[in-house]
A and B are shown apart, each in its own frame.
Chain A
Protein backbone atom coordinates (compact mmCIF):
# COMPACT_ATOMS: atom_id res chain seq x y z
CA UNK A 1 0.00 0.00 0.00
CA UNK A 2 1.30 3.43 -0.92
CA UNK A 3 1.16 6.20 1.64
CA UNK A 4 -1.60 8.78 1.26
CA UNK A 5 -0.07 12.28 1.18
CA UNK A 6 -2.89 14.59 0.39
CA UNK A 7 -6.65 14.15 0.27
CA UNK A 8 -9.84 16.12 -0.30
CA UNK A 9 -13.02 15.05 1.44
CA UNK A 10 -16.35 16.32 0.17
CA UNK A 11 -14.80 19.63 -0.77
CA UNK A 12 -17.11 22.32 -2.05
CA UNK A 13 -15.93 25.80 -2.98
CA UNK A 14 -18.28 28.64 -3.75
CA UNK A 15 -17.60 32.23 -4.72
CA UNK A 16 -19.92 35.21 -4.43
CA UNK A 17 -23.41 35.28 -2.99
CA UNK A 18 -27.04 34.75 -3.96
CA UNK A 19 -27.55 35.49 -7.65
CA UNK A 20 -23.80 35.77 -8.21
CA UNK A 21 -23.07 32.49 -6.52
CA UNK A 22 -20.54 30.38 -8.41
CA UNK A 23 -19.91 26.83 -7.34
CA UNK A 24 -16.36 26.18 -8.54
CA UNK A 25 -16.08 22.78 -6.84
CA UNK A 26 -18.89 20.53 -5.74
CA UNK A 27 -18.43 17.65 -3.32
CA UNK A 28 -15.02 16.60 -4.56
CA UNK A 29 -13.28 13.73 -2.80
CA UNK A 30 -9.83 12.65 -3.96
CA UNK A 31 -6.71 11.09 -2.46
CA UNK A 32 -3.14 11.41 -3.72
CA UNK A 33 -0.41 8.95 -2.86
CA UNK A 34 3.33 9.15 -2.74
CA UNK A 35 5.00 7.71 -5.82
CA UNK A 36 2.11 8.45 -8.15
CA UNK A 37 1.32 11.01 -10.81
CA UNK A 38 -2.33 12.06 -10.67
CA UNK A 39 -3.77 13.98 -13.58
CA UNK A 40 -6.90 16.05 -13.19
CA UNK A 41 -8.09 16.95 -16.61
CA UNK A 42 -10.87 19.29 -17.54
CA UNK A 43 -11.85 22.19 -19.77
CA UNK A 44 -11.29 25.81 -18.96
CA UNK A 45 -13.44 27.05 -16.07
CA UNK A 46 -14.08 23.58 -14.71
CA UNK A 47 -12.48 24.36 -11.34
CA UNK A 48 -8.99 22.93 -11.80
CA UNK A 49 -7.08 25.91 -10.47
CA UNK A 50 -9.48 26.24 -7.57
CA UNK A 51 -8.86 22.60 -6.74
CA UNK A 52 -5.10 23.06 -6.90
CA UNK A 53 -5.07 26.16 -4.72
CA UNK A 54 -7.18 24.41 -2.10
CA UNK A 55 -4.79 21.47 -2.17
CA UNK A 56 -1.92 23.89 -1.67
CA UNK A 57 -3.57 25.67 1.25
CA UNK A 58 -3.88 28.93 -0.68
CA UNK A 59 -7.64 28.94 -0.25
CA UNK A 60 -9.89 27.21 2.22
CA UNK A 61 -12.90 25.17 1.10
CA UNK A 62 -16.40 26.45 1.74
CA UNK A 63 -17.27 22.94 2.85
CA UNK A 64 -15.39 19.70 3.40
CA UNK A 65 -11.81 19.19 4.49
CA UNK A 66 -8.23 18.87 3.22
CA UNK A 67 -5.86 16.33 4.73
CA UNK A 68 -2.09 16.59 4.54
CA UNK A 69 -0.16 13.64 5.93
CA UNK A 70 -3.30 12.63 7.79
CA UNK A 71 -3.83 16.06 9.39
CA UNK A 72 -6.68 18.39 8.57
CA UNK A 73 -5.26 21.62 7.07
CA UNK A 74 -8.57 23.22 6.15
CA UNK A 75 -8.32 25.79 8.91
CA UNK A 76 -4.63 26.63 9.14
CA UNK A 77 -3.66 30.22 9.88
CA UNK A 78 -2.04 32.16 7.05
CA UNK A 79 1.36 31.76 8.67
CA UNK A 80 0.99 28.01 9.21
CA UNK A 81 -0.27 27.56 5.68
CA UNK A 82 2.75 29.53 4.43
CA UNK A 83 5.13 27.31 6.35
CA UNK A 84 3.38 24.20 5.08
CA UNK A 85 3.70 25.40 1.50
CA UNK A 86 7.37 26.26 1.93
CA UNK A 87 8.26 22.92 3.47
CA UNK A 88 5.86 20.36 2.03
CA UNK A 89 4.72 21.58 -1.35
CA UNK A 90 6.43 22.38 -4.60
CA UNK A 91 4.39 24.52 -6.98
CA UNK A 92 4.87 24.50 -10.71
CA UNK A 93 2.66 27.09 -12.29
CA UNK A 94 1.86 28.09 -15.82
CA UNK A 95 3.81 31.36 -15.62
CA UNK A 96 5.80 33.67 -13.36
CA UNK A 97 7.49 30.73 -11.65
CA UNK A 98 10.88 32.37 -11.82
CA UNK A 99 12.00 35.71 -10.46
CA UNK A 100 13.06 37.64 -13.57
CA UNK A 101 15.99 39.43 -11.97
CA UNK A 102 17.59 36.34 -10.47
CA UNK A 103 19.89 34.01 -12.38
CA UNK A 104 18.88 30.38 -12.44
CA UNK A 105 21.42 29.63 -9.70
CA UNK A 106 20.05 32.47 -7.56
CA UNK A 107 16.51 31.13 -7.82
CA UNK A 108 17.71 28.31 -5.58
CA UNK A 109 19.78 30.55 -3.33
CA UNK A 110 16.63 32.55 -2.69
CA UNK A 111 15.08 29.42 -1.22
CA UNK A 112 18.12 29.01 1.05
CA UNK A 113 17.47 32.51 2.36
CA UNK A 114 14.08 31.64 3.76
CA UNK A 115 14.47 27.90 4.28
CA UNK A 116 18.10 27.18 5.12
CA UNK A 117 17.59 23.54 6.10
CA UNK A 118 16.34 20.33 4.55
CA UNK A 119 16.76 21.48 0.99
CA UNK A 120 18.42 19.26 -1.59
CA UNK A 121 22.01 18.26 -0.88
CA UNK A 122 24.63 19.30 -3.41
CA UNK A 123 24.53 15.78 -4.85
CA UNK A 124 20.76 15.76 -5.04
CA UNK A 125 20.79 19.18 -6.66
CA UNK A 126 23.44 18.18 -9.20
CA UNK A 127 21.44 15.10 -10.10
CA UNK A 128 18.25 17.02 -10.63
CA UNK A 129 19.75 19.76 -12.76
CA UNK A 130 21.44 17.10 -14.82
CA UNK A 131 18.23 15.17 -15.29
CA UNK A 132 16.48 18.38 -16.24
CA UNK A 133 19.35 19.40 -18.51
CA UNK A 134 19.78 22.82 -16.99
CA UNK A 135 23.38 22.64 -15.75
CA UNK A 136 24.50 25.01 -18.47
CA UNK A 137 21.79 27.51 -17.69
CA UNK A 138 22.77 28.32 -14.11
CA UNK A 139 24.20 31.74 -14.90
CA UNK A 140 21.41 32.81 -17.20
CA UNK A 141 18.41 34.96 -16.40
CA UNK A 142 14.89 33.61 -17.04
CA UNK A 143 14.49 36.13 -19.87
CA UNK A 144 17.33 34.42 -21.72
CA UNK A 145 15.67 30.99 -21.60
CA UNK A 146 13.11 29.37 -23.88
CA UNK A 147 9.68 28.48 -22.52
CA UNK A 148 10.67 24.84 -22.13
CA UNK A 149 13.91 25.71 -20.35
CA UNK A 150 12.03 28.03 -18.01
CA UNK A 151 9.54 25.31 -17.18
CA UNK A 152 12.34 22.84 -16.44
CA UNK A 153 14.00 25.37 -14.13
CA UNK A 154 10.63 25.92 -12.45
CA UNK A 155 10.34 22.20 -11.85
CA UNK A 156 13.85 22.11 -10.39
CA UNK A 157 12.95 25.08 -8.20
CA UNK A 158 9.83 23.23 -6.98
CA UNK A 159 11.89 20.15 -6.18
CA UNK A 160 14.67 22.07 -4.46
CA UNK A 161 12.90 22.22 -1.09
CA UNK A 162 12.55 18.45 -1.29
CA UNK A 163 8.76 18.64 -0.86
CA UNK A 164 6.60 15.54 -0.44
CA UNK A 165 4.08 16.93 -2.85
CA UNK A 166 4.32 18.58 -6.26
CA UNK A 167 1.33 20.61 -7.42
CA UNK A 168 1.39 21.67 -11.05
CA UNK A 169 -1.12 23.94 -12.79
CA UNK A 170 -1.10 23.64 -16.57
CA UNK A 171 2.66 23.03 -16.58
CA UNK A 172 2.69 22.30 -20.29
CA UNK A 173 0.57 25.16 -21.56
CA UNK A 174 3.55 26.91 -23.17
CA UNK A 175 5.25 23.83 -24.58
CA UNK A 176 5.35 22.01 -27.91
CA UNK A 177 4.63 18.30 -28.09
CA UNK A 178 8.26 17.18 -27.83
CA UNK A 179 8.70 19.27 -24.70
CA UNK A 180 5.38 18.03 -23.28
CA UNK A 181 6.66 14.48 -23.49
CA UNK A 182 9.91 15.48 -21.81
CA UNK A 183 8.18 17.28 -18.99
CA UNK A 184 5.59 14.51 -18.59
CA UNK A 185 8.34 11.92 -18.36
CA UNK A 186 10.12 14.07 -15.82
CA UNK A 187 7.08 14.27 -13.56
CA UNK A 188 6.68 10.52 -13.84
CA UNK A 189 10.32 9.98 -12.88
CA UNK A 190 10.05 12.35 -9.95
CA UNK A 191 7.00 10.52 -8.63
CA UNK A 192 8.35 7.05 -9.21
CA UNK A 193 12.02 7.54 -8.27
CA UNK A 194 11.68 10.10 -5.52
CA UNK A 195 8.42 8.87 -4.00
CA UNK A 196 6.70 12.21 -4.42
CA UNK A 197 2.97 12.72 -4.79
CA UNK A 198 2.60 14.61 -8.08
CA UNK A 199 -0.72 16.29 -8.86
CA UNK A 200 -1.14 17.93 -12.24
CA UNK A 201 -4.24 19.87 -13.28
CA UNK A 202 -4.46 20.51 -17.00
CA UNK A 203 -6.57 20.42 -20.12
CA UNK A 204 -3.66 18.87 -21.97
CA UNK A 205 -4.51 15.29 -22.99
CA UNK A 206 -0.90 14.69 -24.03
CA UNK A 207 0.06 14.18 -20.38
CA UNK A 208 -2.20 11.14 -19.91
CA UNK A 209 0.41 8.61 -20.88
CA UNK A 210 2.68 9.66 -18.00
CA UNK A 211 0.00 9.50 -15.32
CA UNK A 212 -0.87 6.75 -12.86
CA UNK A 213 -4.34 8.13 -12.16
CA UNK A 214 -6.50 10.28 -14.39
CA UNK A 215 -9.55 12.15 -13.10
CA UNK A 216 -11.93 14.20 -15.15
CA UNK A 217 -13.48 17.36 -13.83
CA UNK A 218 -16.39 19.19 -15.43
CA UNK A 219 -18.25 22.13 -13.93
CA UNK A 220 -16.63 21.54 -10.57
CA UNK A 221 -17.67 17.91 -10.37
CA UNK A 222 -15.52 14.84 -10.76
CA UNK A 223 -16.77 12.49 -13.40
CA UNK A 224 -15.73 8.89 -13.79
CA UNK A 225 -12.22 8.18 -14.85
CA UNK A 226 -11.91 6.66 -18.25
Chain B
Protein backbone atom coordinates (compact mmCIF):
# COMPACT_ATOMS: atom_id res chain seq x y z
CA UNK B 1 0.00 0.00 0.00
CA UNK B 2 2.85 2.30 0.90
CA UNK B 3 4.37 2.10 -2.57
CA UNK B 4 1.07 1.90 -4.47
CA UNK B 5 -0.40 5.11 -3.05
CA UNK B 6 2.77 7.08 -3.65
CA UNK B 7 3.27 5.70 -7.11
CA UNK B 8 -0.27 6.54 -8.17
CA UNK B 9 0.13 10.04 -6.71
CA UNK B 10 3.40 10.62 -8.54
CA UNK B 11 2.45 9.05 -11.87
CA UNK B 12 -0.93 10.73 -12.24
CA UNK B 13 -1.00 10.69 -16.03
CA UNK B 14 -0.09 7.04 -16.30
CA UNK B 15 -2.62 5.89 -13.74
CA UNK B 16 -5.15 8.42 -14.98
CA UNK B 17 -5.03 6.72 -18.37
CA UNK B 18 -5.51 3.22 -17.04
CA UNK B 19 -8.23 4.49 -14.73
CA UNK B 20 -9.99 6.12 -17.68
CA UNK B 21 -9.94 2.84 -19.55
CA UNK B 22 -11.37 0.97 -16.56
CA UNK B 23 -14.04 3.66 -16.08
CA UNK B 24 -15.05 3.44 -19.74
CA UNK B 25 -15.15 -0.34 -19.75
CA UNK B 26 -17.16 -0.60 -16.55
CA UNK B 27 -19.47 2.20 -17.73
CA UNK B 28 -20.06 0.38 -20.99
CA UNK B 29 -20.69 -2.90 -19.22
CA UNK B 30 -23.11 -1.29 -16.76
CA UNK B 31 -25.03 0.48 -19.53
CA UNK B 32 -25.17 -2.65 -21.65
CA UNK B 33 -26.42 -4.72 -18.75
CA UNK B 34 -29.01 -2.05 -17.92
CA UNK B 35 -30.14 -2.06 -21.54
CA UNK B 36 -30.21 -5.84 -21.59
CA UNK B 37 -32.20 -5.91 -18.39
CA UNK B 38 -34.49 -3.13 -19.64
CA UNK B 39 -35.16 -5.01 -22.83
CA UNK B 40 -35.69 -8.26 -20.96
CA UNK B 41 -38.12 -6.55 -18.62
CA UNK B 42 -39.99 -4.99 -21.54
CA UNK B 43 -40.31 -8.50 -22.94
CA UNK B 44 -41.46 -10.23 -19.81
CA UNK B 45 -43.07 -7.67 -17.48
CA UNK B 46 -46.65 -8.67 -18.28
CA UNK B 47 -45.88 -12.39 -18.14
CA UNK B 48 -44.16 -11.87 -14.79
CA UNK B 49 -47.20 -10.01 -13.47
CA UNK B 50 -49.40 -13.00 -14.30
CA UNK B 51 -47.52 -15.13 -11.76
CA UNK B 52 -48.15 -18.33 -13.64
CA UNK B 53 -46.26 -21.63 -13.48
CA UNK B 54 -47.38 -23.22 -16.73
CA UNK B 55 -48.66 -22.19 -20.14
CA UNK B 56 -50.52 -24.60 -22.45
CA UNK B 57 -50.64 -23.86 -26.17
CA UNK B 58 -51.04 -25.78 -29.39
CA UNK B 59 -47.92 -27.67 -30.35
CA UNK B 60 -47.93 -26.02 -33.79
CA UNK B 61 -47.54 -22.57 -32.26
CA UNK B 62 -44.03 -23.55 -31.18
CA UNK B 63 -44.28 -21.57 -27.98
CA UNK B 64 -45.48 -18.36 -29.63
CA UNK B 65 -48.78 -17.41 -28.00
CA UNK B 66 -49.69 -15.19 -30.95
CA UNK B 67 -49.74 -18.29 -33.17
CA UNK B 68 -51.68 -20.56 -30.84
CA UNK B 69 -55.38 -21.28 -31.34
CA UNK B 70 -57.11 -23.41 -28.70
CA UNK B 71 -60.55 -24.85 -29.48
CA UNK B 72 -63.43 -24.50 -27.08
CA UNK B 73 -63.17 -28.19 -26.28
CA UNK B 74 -59.45 -27.94 -25.47
CA UNK B 75 -60.01 -24.93 -23.25
CA UNK B 76 -62.83 -26.65 -21.40
CA UNK B 77 -60.66 -29.71 -20.78
CA UNK B 78 -57.76 -27.63 -19.44
CA UNK B 79 -59.73 -25.25 -17.28
CA UNK B 80 -60.16 -25.53 -13.55
CA UNK B 81 -60.20 -23.06 -10.67
CA UNK B 82 -56.43 -22.51 -10.83
CA UNK B 83 -56.28 -21.67 -14.53
CA UNK B 84 -56.92 -18.65 -16.68
CA UNK B 85 -57.57 -18.52 -20.41
CA UNK B 86 -55.89 -15.76 -22.38
CA UNK B 87 -56.29 -14.71 -25.98
CA UNK B 88 -53.01 -13.12 -26.99
CA UNK B 89 -52.34 -11.54 -30.37
CA UNK B 90 -50.05 -8.83 -31.74
CA UNK B 91 -52.15 -5.91 -33.02
CA UNK B 92 -52.07 -2.35 -34.22
CA UNK B 93 -53.93 0.14 -32.13
CA UNK B 94 -55.15 3.30 -33.83
CA UNK B 95 -56.31 6.61 -32.48
CA UNK B 96 -56.71 9.70 -34.59
CA UNK B 97 -54.11 9.30 -37.30
CA UNK B 98 -51.74 7.43 -34.98
CA UNK B 99 -50.95 3.77 -35.21
CA UNK B 100 -48.85 1.75 -32.78
CA UNK B 101 -47.92 -1.89 -32.28
CA UNK B 102 -49.36 -3.51 -29.19
CA UNK B 103 -50.28 -6.89 -27.78
CA UNK B 104 -53.93 -7.59 -27.13
CA UNK B 105 -54.53 -9.86 -24.16
CA UNK B 106 -58.11 -11.03 -23.76
CA UNK B 107 -59.01 -12.44 -20.36
CA UNK B 108 -61.96 -13.60 -18.27
CA UNK B 109 -62.70 -11.27 -15.39
CA UNK B 110 -63.54 -14.16 -13.08
CA UNK B 111 -60.15 -15.85 -13.50
CA UNK B 112 -57.00 -15.21 -11.46
CA UNK B 113 -55.05 -13.13 -13.97
CA UNK B 114 -57.76 -10.50 -14.24
CA UNK B 115 -58.32 -10.66 -10.49
CA UNK B 116 -54.63 -10.11 -9.76
CA UNK B 117 -54.11 -7.38 -12.33
CA UNK B 118 -52.66 -4.27 -10.73
CA UNK B 119 -54.20 -1.10 -12.10
CA UNK B 120 -52.63 2.30 -11.60
CA UNK B 121 -55.90 3.99 -12.54
CA UNK B 122 -59.45 3.12 -13.57
CA UNK B 123 -61.14 -0.29 -13.45
CA UNK B 124 -61.06 -3.65 -15.24
CA UNK B 125 -62.93 -3.83 -18.55
CA UNK B 126 -66.57 -4.55 -17.67
CA UNK B 127 -68.22 -4.23 -21.05
CA UNK B 128 -67.08 -5.83 -24.30
CA UNK B 129 -65.89 -2.49 -25.69
CA UNK B 130 -63.78 -1.56 -22.67
CA UNK B 131 -60.02 -2.01 -22.45
CA UNK B 132 -57.20 -1.37 -20.00
CA UNK B 133 -53.91 -0.12 -21.47
CA UNK B 134 -50.34 -0.48 -20.31
CA UNK B 135 -49.43 2.29 -17.91
CA UNK B 136 -46.35 2.98 -20.05
CA UNK B 137 -48.33 4.43 -22.99
CA UNK B 138 -48.30 8.14 -23.72
CA UNK B 139 -51.38 9.37 -21.85
CA UNK B 140 -51.58 12.50 -24.00
CA UNK B 141 -52.44 10.22 -26.89
CA UNK B 142 -54.19 7.41 -25.06
CA UNK B 143 -56.18 9.34 -22.49
CA UNK B 144 -58.73 7.94 -20.09
CA UNK B 145 -62.07 7.57 -21.89
CA UNK B 146 -60.50 7.89 -25.37
CA UNK B 147 -61.60 5.43 -28.02
CA UNK B 148 -59.18 3.32 -30.01
CA UNK B 149 -59.45 0.83 -32.87
CA UNK B 150 -57.73 -2.51 -32.38
CA UNK B 151 -56.73 -5.01 -35.06
CA UNK B 152 -59.46 -6.25 -37.37
CA UNK B 153 -62.35 -5.36 -35.07
CA UNK B 154 -64.84 -2.69 -36.15
CA UNK B 155 -65.59 -1.81 -32.54
CA UNK B 156 -64.17 1.36 -31.01
CA UNK B 157 -62.73 0.42 -27.64
CA UNK B 158 -62.89 2.77 -24.71
CA UNK B 159 -59.88 3.15 -22.40
CA UNK B 160 -61.16 2.57 -18.85
CA UNK B 161 -57.89 2.03 -16.97
CA UNK B 162 -54.15 1.53 -17.00
CA UNK B 163 -52.24 -1.53 -15.80
CA UNK B 164 -48.85 -1.73 -14.16
CA UNK B 165 -45.97 -3.77 -15.67
CA UNK B 166 -47.94 -4.34 -18.82
CA UNK B 167 -45.42 -4.86 -21.59
CA UNK B 168 -45.28 -8.06 -23.57
CA UNK B 169 -42.49 -8.77 -26.03
CA UNK B 170 -41.51 -5.07 -25.71
CA UNK B 171 -44.97 -3.89 -26.84
CA UNK B 172 -47.62 -2.29 -24.59
CA UNK B 173 -50.43 -4.64 -23.58
CA UNK B 174 -54.13 -3.96 -24.16
CA UNK B 175 -56.18 -5.96 -21.70
CA UNK B 176 -59.75 -6.62 -22.85
CA UNK B 177 -62.49 -9.21 -22.74
CA UNK B 178 -61.50 -12.68 -23.95
CA UNK B 179 -64.46 -12.75 -26.37
CA UNK B 180 -62.96 -9.74 -28.20
CA UNK B 181 -59.72 -11.61 -28.95
CA UNK B 182 -61.46 -13.64 -31.70
CA UNK B 183 -62.95 -10.54 -33.26
CA UNK B 184 -59.71 -8.58 -33.14
CA UNK B 185 -57.66 -11.46 -34.51
CA UNK B 186 -60.32 -12.43 -37.07
CA UNK B 187 -60.59 -16.13 -36.33
CA UNK B 188 -63.70 -18.32 -36.43
CA UNK B 189 -65.75 -18.97 -33.32
CA UNK B 190 -64.55 -22.54 -32.91
CA UNK B 191 -61.52 -21.03 -31.14
CA UNK B 192 -61.70 -19.89 -27.56
CA UNK B 193 -58.25 -18.49 -26.73
CA UNK B 194 -54.53 -18.96 -27.30
CA UNK B 195 -53.09 -19.92 -23.91
CA UNK B 196 -54.36 -21.57 -20.77
CA UNK B 197 -52.14 -20.51 -17.90
CA UNK B 198 -52.07 -22.11 -14.50
CA UNK B 199 -50.86 -21.20 -11.06
CA UNK B 200 -49.64 -24.78 -10.71
CA UNK B 201 -47.71 -27.07 -13.03
CA UNK B 202 -50.07 -28.58 -15.54
CA UNK B 203 -49.60 -31.63 -17.75
CA UNK B 204 -51.66 -32.40 -20.83
CA UNK B 205 -52.60 -35.65 -22.58
CA UNK B 206 -53.71 -34.03 -25.82
CA UNK B 207 -51.00 -34.68 -28.44
CA UNK B 208 -51.82 -31.42 -30.20
CA UNK B 209 -51.03 -29.38 -27.09
CA UNK B 210 -47.85 -28.57 -25.26
CA UNK B 211 -47.12 -27.24 -21.77
CA UNK B 212 -44.45 -24.62 -21.25
CA UNK B 213 -42.92 -23.73 -17.93
CA UNK B 214 -42.63 -20.04 -17.08
CA UNK B 215 -38.98 -19.99 -18.20
CA UNK B 216 -39.67 -21.92 -21.41
CA UNK B 217 -42.53 -19.56 -22.23
CA UNK B 218 -40.32 -16.51 -21.70
CA UNK B 219 -37.51 -17.99 -23.76
CA UNK B 220 -39.94 -18.56 -26.61
CA UNK B 221 -41.04 -14.92 -26.76
CA UNK B 222 -40.10 -13.82 -30.28
CA UNK B 223 -36.55 -12.42 -30.28
CA UNK B 224 -36.10 -12.71 -26.54
CA UNK B 225 -33.50 -15.48 -26.45
CA UNK B 226 -31.32 -14.09 -29.27
CA UNK B 227 -31.42 -10.63 -27.67
CA UNK B 228 -30.34 -12.08 -24.37
CA UNK B 229 -27.58 -14.06 -26.05
CA UNK B 230 -26.38 -10.99 -27.94
CA UNK B 231 -26.16 -8.87 -24.81
CA UNK B 232 -24.62 -11.72 -22.85
CA UNK B 233 -21.98 -12.14 -25.53
CA UNK B 234 -21.22 -8.41 -25.65
CA UNK B 235 -20.88 -8.22 -21.89
CA UNK B 236 -18.75 -11.37 -21.88
CA UNK B 237 -16.48 -9.97 -24.57
CA UNK B 238 -16.16 -6.68 -22.71
CA UNK B 239 -15.11 -8.49 -19.56
CA UNK B 240 -12.53 -10.49 -21.50
CA UNK B 241 -11.32 -7.30 -23.19
CA UNK B 242 -11.03 -5.58 -19.83
CA UNK B 243 -9.00 -8.53 -18.57
CA UNK B 244 -6.63 -8.22 -21.51
CA UNK B 245 -6.38 -4.43 -21.27
CA UNK B 246 -5.71 -4.49 -17.54
CA UNK B 247 -3.15 -7.26 -17.89
CA UNK B 248 -1.34 -5.35 -20.64
CA UNK B 249 -1.36 -2.09 -18.69
CA UNK B 250 -0.13 -3.68 -15.48
CA UNK B 251 2.43 -5.69 -17.38
CA UNK B 252 3.85 -2.63 -19.11
CA UNK B 253 3.89 -0.65 -15.87
CA UNK B 254 5.69 -3.53 -14.14
CA UNK B 255 8.22 -4.05 -16.90
CA UNK B 256 9.04 -0.33 -16.85
CA UNK B 257 9.79 -0.57 -13.13
CA UNK B 258 11.72 -3.80 -13.40
CA UNK B 259 15.23 -2.41 -12.77
CA UNK B 260 13.99 -0.60 -9.68
CA UNK B 261 12.12 -3.63 -8.45
CA UNK B 262 15.25 -5.72 -9.00
CA UNK B 263 17.29 -3.32 -6.87
CA UNK B 264 14.62 -3.47 -4.17
CA UNK B 265 14.88 -7.26 -4.26
CA UNK B 266 18.68 -6.99 -4.04
CA UNK B 267 18.24 -4.77 -1.01
CA UNK B 268 16.23 -7.51 0.61
CA UNK B 269 12.70 -6.09 0.18
CA UNK B 270 10.56 -9.25 0.22
CA UNK B 271 8.83 -10.45 -2.90
CA UNK B 272 5.54 -10.59 -0.97
CA UNK B 273 5.69 -6.91 -0.17
CA UNK B 274 6.06 -6.02 -3.85
CA UNK B 275 3.36 -8.49 -4.96
CA UNK B 276 0.90 -7.16 -2.38
CA UNK B 277 1.67 -3.72 -3.63
CA UNK B 278 0.77 -4.59 -7.20
CA UNK B 279 -2.39 -6.29 -5.95
CA UNK B 280 -3.38 -3.24 -3.96
CA UNK B 281 -2.66 -0.97 -6.90
CA UNK B 282 -4.92 -3.12 -9.08
CA UNK B 283 -7.60 -3.16 -6.43
CA UNK B 284 -7.45 0.61 -6.14
CA UNK B 285 -7.66 1.16 -9.90
CA UNK B 286 -10.52 -1.30 -10.31
CA UNK B 287 -12.50 -0.07 -7.32
CA UNK B 288 -12.18 3.57 -8.36
CA UNK B 289 -12.94 2.76 -11.99
CA UNK B 290 -16.00 0.69 -11.13
CA UNK B 291 -17.43 3.28 -8.75
CA UNK B 292 -16.96 6.12 -11.26
CA UNK B 293 -18.41 3.89 -14.00
CA UNK B 294 -21.45 3.14 -11.83
CA UNK B 295 -22.01 6.82 -11.06
CA UNK B 296 -21.79 7.67 -14.77
CA UNK B 297 -24.29 4.91 -15.54
CA UNK B 298 -26.72 6.25 -12.96
CA UNK B 299 -26.39 9.75 -14.46
CA UNK B 300 -26.97 8.31 -17.91
CA UNK B 301 -30.17 6.67 -16.76
CA UNK B 302 -31.51 10.07 -15.75
CA UNK B 303 -30.56 11.56 -19.09
CA UNK B 304 -31.76 8.82 -21.39
CA UNK B 305 -35.24 9.08 -23.01
CA UNK B 306 -37.99 6.78 -21.70
CA UNK B 307 -38.35 5.17 -25.10
CA UNK B 308 -35.04 3.36 -24.49
CA UNK B 309 -35.82 0.60 -22.05
CA UNK B 310 -33.16 0.64 -19.33
CA UNK B 311 -33.36 -1.05 -15.99
CA UNK B 312 -30.84 -0.88 -13.18
CA UNK B 313 -30.75 -3.68 -10.75
CA UNK B 314 -28.37 -3.14 -7.84
CA UNK B 315 -27.94 -6.86 -7.33
CA UNK B 316 -26.94 -7.36 -10.96
CA UNK B 317 -24.69 -4.28 -10.88
CA UNK B 318 -23.01 -5.60 -7.74
CA UNK B 319 -22.47 -8.93 -9.44
CA UNK B 320 -20.95 -7.27 -12.50
CA UNK B 321 -18.78 -5.04 -10.29
CA UNK B 322 -17.54 -8.12 -8.46
CA UNK B 323 -16.87 -9.81 -11.79
CA UNK B 324 -14.88 -6.81 -12.99
CA UNK B 325 -12.93 -6.71 -9.73
CA UNK B 326 -12.04 -10.39 -10.02
CA UNK B 327 -11.08 -9.79 -13.65
CA UNK B 328 -8.80 -6.94 -12.63
CA UNK B 329 -7.14 -8.95 -9.90
CA UNK B 330 -6.65 -11.79 -12.38
CA UNK B 331 -4.96 -9.22 -14.59
CA UNK B 332 -2.43 -8.73 -11.82
CA UNK B 333 -1.35 -12.37 -11.91
CA UNK B 334 1.09 -12.03 -14.79
CA UNK B 335 2.78 -8.88 -13.44
CA UNK B 336 3.04 -10.50 -10.01
CA UNK B 337 4.65 -13.55 -11.58
CA UNK B 338 7.07 -11.27 -13.42
CA UNK B 339 7.97 -9.62 -10.12
CA UNK B 340 8.48 -12.93 -8.36
CA UNK B 341 10.82 -14.06 -11.12
CA UNK B 342 13.03 -10.97 -11.03
CA UNK B 343 16.69 -11.83 -10.70
CA UNK B 344 18.35 -9.00 -8.75
CA UNK B 345 21.67 -9.96 -10.33
CA UNK B 346 20.30 -8.78 -13.67
CA UNK B 347 20.58 -5.12 -12.68
CA UNK B 348 24.00 -5.40 -11.11
CA UNK B 349 26.86 -5.38 -13.53
CA UNK B 350 27.51 -3.47 -16.70
Contacts and interface: CB of A to CB of B under 8 A. Distances in A.
Interface in B247-278: 259-260, 262-271, 273
A95 B259 contact: yes
Contact of B3 (A59, A93, A99): A99
B270 A93 contact: no
B348 A58 contact: yes
B6 interface: yes
Given A49-B350, A53-B348, A169-B348, A86 B6 contact: no
Contacts of B260: 96, 98-100
A141 B10 CA distance: 9
B267 A85 contact: yes
Given A86-B269, A99-B3, A101-B10, A170 B263 contact: no
B276 to A, nearest CB: 11
A209 interface: no
A102 interface: yes
B348 to A, nearest CB: 5
B263 A93 contact: yes
Q: Classify chain B's interface size.
A: 20 to 34
Q: Classify chain A's interface size.
A: 20 to 34
A52 B349 CA distance: 9
A83 B268 contact: yes
A89 interface: yes
A178 to B, nearest CB: 23
A82 B259 contact: no
Interface of B: 2-3, 6-7, 9-11, 259-260, 262-271, 273, 344-345, 347-350
Given A58-B344, A96-B259, 18 more contacts: A50-B349, A52-B348, A53-B344, A53-B348, A58-B266, A58-B348, A82-B268, A86-B269, A89-B268, A91-B266, A93-B263, A93-B266, A96-B262, A97-B263, A98-B260, A99-B3, A99-B260, A100-B10
Interface of A: 49-50, 52-53, 56, 58-59, 82-87, 89, 91, 93-102, 106, 109-110, 113-115, 141, 169-170
